[in-house]
Structure 1
Amino acid sequence: MRPVTLGDWLKHAMARYKKTGVALGQVATNAHDEALYLLLRTLALPLDSDPSVLKRKLTAAEIMAVENMLQRRLDKRIPAAYLTREAFLGEYRFYVDERVIIPRSYFLEIIPQQLDAWLPAPAKVKHVVDVCTGSGCLAILLAHHFPKAKVDAVDLSPDAIDVARINIKNHKLTRRVKLHESDVFDAVPKVKYDVILSNPPYEPSAHCDKLPAEFHNEPRMALDGGKDGLDIIRKLLRQARDRLQPHGVLLIEVGGLQRAMDKEFAALDLYWMHTADGSNCVCLIQAGRLRAWKG
């Protein structure tokens, strides 16, 4: 029986998600949430629509639009965020396209809930930086969290810089967030930061090769951290040593590399921040310990 209402199309979409076995995790972690999101966006309906919207009958033109969207998502494996040209971190919306990795980060919970406790005077933070900024999303979260601070946003990809510029403008932060096209700090003027934050490429190259098709649509350089995943992290640790204020902190999100990090950088006595799902994949290093490190 051909789907008629939005609710029918949601059930139809979920069945197709299951049949095709598409990869999730870039926008939502389950088929229901991603399919509903795409249906609402395709039909130009509010994301906070009342559940009664599921009884709405689709027009012939809307059915064509929905079929086209599902074909692109499920058959061509185009990530949902690239179809809608948007992604969310909490309450904040960001423009995204194939030039940048789709925003997803545990810093969404760590910045507002845990970061201030590691700073002597959070209200007086003057200068922070997001290294490997991609779409600029974490630099923007930092700017919102530290409303009096200057924020640097660093990325090696000129394409990513272009997308970040769009988001910085959309969030009306062009006066406070400065973009730098640079390999870590190579081309960034010497500044002492209160906070250095990074969600760098950390997937081992061999793991990148085996990722589902959806993730191959994302820029490889935003995912691939070299043979063991630590190439960019090693460089960041070396360069951050002289970039922090005495009271400053460095935070790095490392995915599944906790054990490798603890082994190689045992002398840094990494502190792993708690996350709600227990992954605890963001480490914190205080400036004094980093300066004393012999690595």
Structure 2
Amino acid sequence: MQRRNGWSCIRANAAGNPLRLPDCVVSVVYGSEQSLRPAGPERTMSERLSTIGKALAWARSMLRSVTDRPQLEAERILAEICELPRASLIAHPERSLAPEERQIFTDHVLRRASGVPLPYILGHIEFFGLDLYVAPEVLIPRPETETLVEMALAWARQRGSQTVLDVGTGSGCIAIALAVTLPHLSLLATDLSIDALRVAHRNARRHSVRDRIHLIRTDLLQALRGPIDLIVSNPPYVADTEWHHLPPSVRQEPTLALRAGPEGLDVIRRLLIQARTRLAPGGCLLVEIGE
């Protein structure tokens, strides 16, 4: 067998005419008979992902174009699948992966490489020390929103029993963090999306605060009358002109939870108007907003 320009040439007959086969094909010659079979991509991928170390190396190369932390994200994906701490992955790169682990890992990495946000792939994220379920129907909770929770907690602690409203609750992250931290609070949480409220309901049950958070489907505060002591909200505030400059993975999150008109203020303006007639005397409105 000779190799010429990336092709395998095999003398196949007495006349000496070469049979040219692509590299992905293996040829076995027995006397005057030939048996051909594909060297299948499945086999190649299986070998490439046969161990933890090899799988992480492959994933790292696949994820470089979508994240500045390809190693960390690869480890998080594989740790979830193998049900191992990340430290174990690093300590045992020679550990073999089962076929089902390789398949799930491949699927997850390819989804992430296509731009799907990692929390949607894993199905959860940590927020304020709480493990929260997330799905494409809700905005992914972000660390900066924890500052909003801390400000709400500081205000509520000074005033004892209070009625608190989380407007546009999404995953329920703000309301649940407040409920878990301060058991005396009475909480309301609104969202226009019924799918988002289902996610919030699931998270509230997960953290045993479902009976303390009243979930309401409404546009901002329309279905509420007050008085409310504290209103907290992480509303949409991305301007139309900024939308196409966001990372592709962010644009896969719900548009309803992000975009807010030409200046990014459409929802916030409506929220301010509605809050004026619902806040109790001495009440407080805390809103997350962009720069």
TM-score, normalising length: structure 1: 0.75
Please tell me whether residue 94 in structure 1 is matched to residue 129 in structure 2: no
Match of 1:135 among 171, 184, 187: 171
- Contact kept, 8 Å, 2:152 with 2:286, in 1: the verdict is no
Q: What amino acid maps onto 1:33 in structure 2?
A: L
Q: Take 2:101 and 2:188, find their aligned partners in 1: how far apart are those partners?
A: 43
Q: Deviations for 1:26-46, whole angstroms, at most 9, x for unmatched residues?
A: xxx733322211111122324
8 Å contact 1:202–1:254 — kept in the other structure? yes
Does 1:222 find its partner at 2:257? yes
- SS of the aligned residue for 2:170 comes to coil
Cα distance in 2 for residues equivalent to 1:118 and 1:157: 28
CA distance in 2, matches of 1:180, 1:255: 26
SS of the residue corresponding to residue 249 of structure 2 reads helix
SS in structure 2 of the partner of residue 153 of structure 1: strand
Deviation at 1:143, TM superposition (A): 0.9
Q: Does the 8 Å contact 1:154/1:180 carry over to 2?
A: yes
Q: 2 CA distance for matches of 1:4 and 1:182?
A: 51
Q: 1:67 to 1:119 in 2, by over 3 A?
A: closer
**What count of residue pairs does the alignment treat as equivalent?**
245
- Matched letter for residue 261 of structure 2: G
Match of 2:227 among 192, 206, 211: 192
8 Å CA contact retained: 2:237, 2:264: yes
Q: CA deviation at 1:57?
A: 2.7
Deviation, structure 1 residue 50: 7.4
Q: What aligned pairs does 1:1-295 form with structure 2 within 5 A after superposition?
A: 2-18=48-64, 21-22=65-66, 24=67, 30-46=69-85, 49=88, 51-74=90-113, 76-112=114-150, 114-118=151-155, 121-122=158-159, 124-188=160-224, 190-256=225-291
Other structure's SS at 1:15 match: helix
The higher radius of gyration belongs to 2
If asked which structure has higher relative contact order (CA below 8 Å, sep 6+), I would say 1
Taking only the aligned residue pairs, the percentage that are identical comes to 35
Q: Aligned letter for 1:73?
A: R
SS at match of 1:106: helix
In the TM superposition, what is the alpha-carbon distance from 1:209 to its structure 2 partner? 3.4
Deviation at 1:16, TM superposition (A): 1.8
Does the 8 Å contact 2:148/2:286 carry over to 1?
A: no
Alpha-carbon offset, residue 49 of structure 1: 4.9
Q: Sort the Cα spacing of 1:49 and 1:151 in 2 relative to 1 into closer, same or farther, 3 A.
A: farther
Contact in 1 for aligned 2:180/2:209 (Cα 8 Å): no
CA distance in structure 2 between the aligned counterparts of 1:85 and 1:120, rounded to whole angstroms:
32
Task: Give the Cα–Cα distance (whole angstroms) in 1 for the partners of residues 177 and 62 of structure 2.
Answer: 35
Alignment correspondent of 1:262: none
Aligned-pair RMSD on alpha carbons? 2.3
- Under a length normalisation based on structure 2, what TM-score does the superposition of the two structures give? 0.76
Matched to 2:192, the amino acid is L
Match of 1:279 in 2: none
Equivalent-residue separation in structure 2 for 1:191 and 1:48 (angstroms) = 50
Alignment partners' CA distance in 2, 1:249 and 1:182: 21
1:289 maps to none
Summarize the Cα distance change of 1:54–1:192 in structure 2 as closer, same or farther, 3 Å threshold: farther
- If each structure's strand is expressed as a fraction of its own residues, which one has the higher value? 2
Name the aligned partner's letter for residue 183 of structure 2.
Answer: P
Secondary structure of the structure 2 residue equivalent to 1:213: coil
Structure 1 segments, 4+ long, off by >6 Å, are none
Structure 1's unaligned 5+ residue stretches are: 257-295
1:119, 1:247 within 8 Å by CA — same for their partners in 2? no
